[in-house]
Amino acid sequence: MTPVQFLKSLTDGGVEIKDKAAVILGAGGAARAIAVELAMAGAKRISIVNRSRERGEALASLIGNKTPSNAVFTLWHGAYRPPEDTAILVNATPIGLYPNTDQKPDIDYSALQGGMAVCDVIPNHPDTLFLREAKKAGARTFDGLKMLVNQGVLGFSLWTGREPSAKAMEDALKKEFGILSD
Ligand SMILES: NC(=O)c1ccc[n+]([C@@H]2O[C@H](COP(=O)([O-])OP(=O)(O)OC[C@H]3O[C@@H](n4cnc5c(N)ncnc54)[C@H](OP(=O)(O)O)[C@@H]3O)[C@@H](O)[C@H]2O)c1
Protein backbone atom coordinates (compact mmCIF):
# COMPACT_ATOMS: atom_id res chain seq x y z
CA MET A 1 0.00 0.00 0.00
CA THR A 2 1.22 3.47 -0.71
CA PRO A 3 -0.03 6.47 1.25
CA VAL A 4 -3.01 7.52 -0.85
CA GLN A 5 -4.81 4.21 -0.83
CA PHE A 6 -6.02 3.90 2.70
CA LEU A 7 -6.91 7.54 3.17
CA LYS A 8 -8.77 7.63 -0.10
CA SER A 9 -11.55 5.40 1.27
CA LEU A 10 -11.88 7.65 4.32
CA THR A 11 -11.58 10.99 2.58
CA ASP A 12 -13.98 9.86 -0.15
CA GLY A 13 -16.38 9.18 2.71
CA GLY A 14 -15.83 12.64 4.21
CA VAL A 15 -14.06 11.37 7.34
CA GLU A 16 -11.97 14.03 9.13
CA ILE A 17 -8.51 12.89 10.17
CA LYS A 18 -6.84 16.09 11.29
CA ASP A 19 -6.63 16.37 15.11
CA LYS A 20 -8.47 13.06 15.56
CA ALA A 21 -7.42 10.08 17.66
CA ALA A 22 -6.90 6.78 15.85
CA VAL A 23 -6.35 3.20 16.99
CA ILE A 24 -4.62 0.62 14.81
CA LEU A 25 -4.81 -3.06 15.70
CA GLY A 26 -1.60 -4.68 14.46
CA ALA A 27 1.87 -3.39 13.66
CA GLY A 28 2.84 -5.20 10.45
CA GLY A 29 3.20 -3.86 6.92
CA ALA A 30 -0.42 -2.76 6.49
CA ALA A 31 -0.48 -1.11 9.93
CA ARG A 32 2.73 0.75 9.17
CA ALA A 33 1.42 2.17 5.88
CA ILE A 34 -1.84 3.20 7.53
CA ALA A 35 -0.14 4.73 10.57
CA VAL A 36 2.19 6.84 8.42
CA GLU A 37 -0.69 8.00 6.29
CA LEU A 38 -2.84 8.95 9.26
CA ALA A 39 0.09 10.82 10.80
CA MET A 40 0.76 12.68 7.55
CA ALA A 41 -2.91 13.67 7.45
CA GLY A 42 -2.60 15.24 10.92
CA ALA A 43 -4.05 12.64 13.31
CA LYS A 44 -3.33 13.96 16.81
CA ARG A 45 -2.75 10.56 18.44
CA ILE A 46 -2.22 7.10 16.99
CA SER A 47 -2.49 4.15 19.33
CA ILE A 48 -0.70 1.04 18.12
CA VAL A 49 -2.15 -2.09 19.68
CA ASN A 50 -0.11 -5.22 19.05
CA ARG A 51 0.33 -8.66 20.62
CA SER A 52 4.12 -8.60 20.24
CA ARG A 53 5.88 -5.78 22.02
CA GLU A 54 8.85 -5.41 19.69
CA ARG A 55 6.96 -4.67 16.48
CA GLY A 56 4.38 -2.52 18.25
CA GLU A 57 6.98 -0.38 20.00
CA ALA A 58 9.00 -0.02 16.80
CA LEU A 59 6.00 1.33 14.91
CA ALA A 60 4.97 3.66 17.75
CA SER A 61 8.57 4.98 17.90
CA LEU A 62 8.62 5.56 14.16
CA ILE A 63 5.41 7.60 14.30
CA GLY A 64 6.35 9.44 17.49
CA ASN A 65 9.86 10.32 16.32
CA LYS A 66 9.35 11.02 12.63
CA THR A 67 5.92 12.65 12.46
CA PRO A 68 4.08 15.37 14.42
CA SER A 69 1.53 12.80 15.72
CA ASN A 70 1.67 11.41 19.22
CA ALA A 71 2.04 7.65 19.23
CA VAL A 72 1.14 5.27 22.02
CA PHE A 73 1.90 1.57 22.16
CA THR A 74 -0.41 -0.84 23.99
CA LEU A 75 0.40 -4.49 24.41
CA TRP A 76 -2.59 -6.50 23.18
CA HIS A 77 -3.63 -9.22 25.58
CA GLY A 78 -7.27 -9.80 26.37
CA ALA A 79 -10.10 -7.64 25.08
CA TYR A 80 -8.69 -4.22 24.19
CA ARG A 81 -10.93 -1.25 24.94
CA PRO A 82 -10.44 1.68 22.53
CA PRO A 83 -10.22 5.07 24.33
CA GLU A 84 -13.43 7.09 24.37
CA ASP A 85 -12.09 9.76 22.04
CA THR A 86 -11.27 7.24 19.29
CA ALA A 87 -12.50 8.60 15.96
CA ILE A 88 -10.86 6.05 13.67
CA LEU A 89 -10.39 2.37 14.49
CA VAL A 90 -8.54 0.09 12.07
CA ASN A 91 -8.09 -3.65 12.03
CA ALA A 92 -4.72 -4.10 10.32
CA THR A 93 -4.27 -7.76 11.31
CA PRO A 94 -5.18 -10.83 9.21
CA ILE A 95 -7.91 -11.76 11.73
CA GLY A 96 -11.10 -12.53 9.77
CA LEU A 97 -9.38 -13.23 6.44
CA TYR A 98 -10.95 -16.08 4.42
CA PRO A 99 -11.32 -18.93 5.41
CA ASN A 100 -11.33 -17.65 9.02
CA THR A 101 -14.38 -15.48 8.44
CA ASP A 102 -15.86 -16.43 11.82
CA GLN A 103 -13.03 -14.63 13.66
CA LYS A 104 -12.86 -11.04 14.85
CA PRO A 105 -10.24 -9.02 16.74
CA ASP A 106 -10.42 -9.35 20.52
CA ILE A 107 -11.65 -5.92 21.54
CA ASP A 108 -14.39 -4.64 23.83
CA TYR A 109 -17.12 -4.07 21.24
CA SER A 110 -19.24 -2.15 23.73
CA ALA A 111 -16.77 0.74 23.29
CA LEU A 112 -17.75 1.21 19.62
CA GLN A 113 -19.91 4.25 18.98
CA GLY A 114 -21.90 5.88 16.22
CA GLY A 115 -19.36 8.64 15.62
CA MET A 116 -16.49 6.29 14.82
CA ALA A 117 -15.04 5.37 11.44
CA VAL A 118 -14.20 1.67 11.65
CA CYS A 119 -11.95 0.19 8.95
CA ASP A 120 -10.80 -3.31 8.10
CA VAL A 121 -7.89 -4.25 5.84
CA ILE A 122 -9.43 -7.67 5.09
CA PRO A 123 -10.46 -7.79 1.43
CA ASN A 124 -11.96 -11.31 1.43
CA HIS A 125 -14.70 -11.46 2.57
CA PRO A 126 -15.02 -7.66 2.90
CA ASP A 127 -18.09 -7.79 5.14
CA THR A 128 -16.08 -9.01 8.12
CA LEU A 129 -17.47 -9.87 11.53
CA PHE A 130 -15.47 -6.89 12.84
CA LEU A 131 -17.23 -4.48 10.47
CA ARG A 132 -20.61 -6.09 11.16
CA GLU A 133 -20.13 -5.45 14.89
CA ALA A 134 -19.18 -1.86 14.10
CA LYS A 135 -22.28 -1.40 11.95
CA LYS A 136 -24.41 -2.74 14.81
CA ALA A 137 -22.94 0.00 17.02
CA GLY A 138 -23.87 2.58 14.38
CA ALA A 139 -20.29 3.28 13.26
CA ARG A 140 -19.37 4.09 9.67
CA THR A 141 -17.42 1.25 8.10
CA PHE A 142 -14.73 1.04 5.41
CA ASP A 143 -13.74 -2.32 3.97
CA GLY A 144 -10.48 -3.82 2.74
CA LEU A 145 -11.82 -4.63 -0.72
CA LYS A 146 -12.14 -0.94 -1.61
CA MET A 147 -8.68 -0.37 -0.18
CA LEU A 148 -7.31 -3.09 -2.45
CA VAL A 149 -9.13 -1.61 -5.45
CA ASN A 150 -7.64 1.84 -4.72
CA GLN A 151 -4.23 0.19 -4.63
CA GLY A 152 -4.85 -1.49 -8.00
CA VAL A 153 -6.10 1.75 -9.55
CA LEU A 154 -3.02 3.64 -8.43
CA GLY A 155 -0.63 0.87 -9.49
CA PHE A 156 -2.24 0.57 -12.91
CA SER A 157 -2.12 4.30 -13.57
CA LEU A 158 1.51 4.56 -12.40
CA TRP A 159 2.54 1.65 -14.61
CA THR A 160 0.57 2.55 -17.72
CA GLY A 161 -0.16 6.27 -17.47
CA ARG A 162 -3.84 5.44 -18.00
CA GLU A 163 -6.78 5.62 -15.60
CA PRO A 164 -8.44 2.23 -15.18
CA SER A 165 -12.06 1.62 -14.27
CA ALA A 166 -12.25 1.15 -10.50
CA LYS A 167 -15.64 -0.53 -10.97
CA ALA A 168 -14.16 -3.12 -13.39
CA MET A 169 -11.39 -3.84 -10.89
CA GLU A 170 -13.82 -4.13 -8.00
CA ASP A 171 -16.08 -6.48 -9.99
CA ALA A 172 -13.10 -8.63 -11.00
CA LEU A 173 -12.05 -8.98 -7.35
CA LYS A 174 -15.61 -9.75 -6.28
CA LYS A 175 -15.82 -12.49 -8.93
CA GLU A 176 -12.49 -13.87 -7.76
CA PHE A 177 -13.72 -13.93 -4.17
CA GLY A 178 -17.08 -15.46 -5.16
CA ILE A 179 -19.07 -12.39 -4.09
CA LEU A 180 -20.29 -11.65 -7.61
CA SER A 181 -21.26 -14.26 -10.18
CA ASP A 182 -20.47 -13.96 -13.92
N1 LIG B 1 -6.86 -4.33 1.61
C2 LIG B 1 -5.62 -4.13 1.22
O3 LIG B 1 -5.35 -3.40 0.27
C4 LIG B 1 -4.52 -4.79 1.97
C5 LIG B 1 -3.18 -4.45 1.70
C6 LIG B 1 -2.17 -5.07 2.45
C7 LIG B 1 -2.52 -6.03 3.40
N8 LIG B 1 -3.83 -6.35 3.60
C9 LIG B 1 -4.20 -7.33 4.62
O10 LIG B 1 -3.68 -6.88 5.84
C11 LIG B 1 -3.43 -7.99 6.70
C12 LIG B 1 -2.11 -7.78 7.40
O13 LIG B 1 -1.08 -7.77 6.43
P14 LIG B 1 0.40 -7.34 6.81
O15 LIG B 1 1.16 -7.35 5.54
O16 LIG B 1 0.39 -6.13 7.67
O17 LIG B 1 0.84 -8.61 7.71
P18 LIG B 1 2.05 -8.70 8.73
O19 LIG B 1 3.14 -7.77 8.33
O20 LIG B 1 2.34 -10.16 8.85
O21 LIG B 1 1.44 -8.15 10.13
C22 LIG B 1 0.38 -8.82 10.75
C23 LIG B 1 0.03 -8.08 12.04
O24 LIG B 1 -1.14 -8.70 12.59
C25 LIG B 1 -0.83 -9.18 13.90
N26 LIG B 1 -1.55 -10.44 14.09
C27 LIG B 1 -1.56 -11.51 13.25
N28 LIG B 1 -2.35 -12.47 13.73
C29 LIG B 1 -2.83 -12.01 14.92
C30 LIG B 1 -3.70 -12.56 15.90
N31 LIG B 1 -4.25 -13.77 15.77
N32 LIG B 1 -4.00 -11.80 16.99
C33 LIG B 1 -3.46 -10.55 17.14
N34 LIG B 1 -2.62 -9.99 16.24
C35 LIG B 1 -2.32 -10.72 15.13
C36 LIG B 1 0.67 -9.35 13.94
O37 LIG B 1 1.10 -9.24 15.30
P38 LIG B 1 2.58 -9.69 15.75
O39 LIG B 1 3.49 -8.53 15.45
O40 LIG B 1 2.42 -9.95 17.20
O41 LIG B 1 2.92 -10.93 14.95
C42 LIG B 1 1.11 -8.16 13.11
O43 LIG B 1 1.08 -6.97 13.86
C44 LIG B 1 -3.49 -9.24 5.79
O45 LIG B 1 -4.65 -9.95 6.09
C46 LIG B 1 -3.60 -8.70 4.39
O47 LIG B 1 -4.48 -9.48 3.61
C48 LIG B 1 -4.82 -5.73 2.92
Distance 81 CA to ligand 1 centre (A): 19
Select from 115, 97, 88 the least CA-distant residue to 34: 88
Cβ–ligand 1 distance for 1 under 6 Å, the answer yes
For domain 3-143, give the CATH superfamily: NAD(P)-binding Rossmann-like Domain (3.40.50.720)
pLDDT under 70 in the chain at which residues?
A: 1-5
Cβ–ligand 1 distance for 178 under 6 Å, the answer no
Ramachandran region of residue 72, left (φ > 0), alpha (ψ -120 to 50) or beta?
beta
| Measured distance CA(71)–CA(95) in Å, rounded | 23
Which atom of ligand 1 lies closest to the CA of 27? 43
pLDDT tens column, 120-171: 999 999 999 999 999 999 999 999 999 999 989 999 999 999 999 999 999 9
> Model pTM greater than 0.85?
yes
Residue-wise burial string across 19-44, b where 16 or more C-beta atoms lie within 10 A, e elsewhere = ebbbbbbbbeebbbbbbbbbbebebb
Cβ–ligand 1 distance for 119 under 6 Å, the answer no
In sequence order, what are the residues at sequence separation of 6 or more whose Cβ sits closer than 8 angstroms to the Cβ of residue 54? none
Cis peptide before 125 (omega within 30 of 0): yes
SS3 178: coil
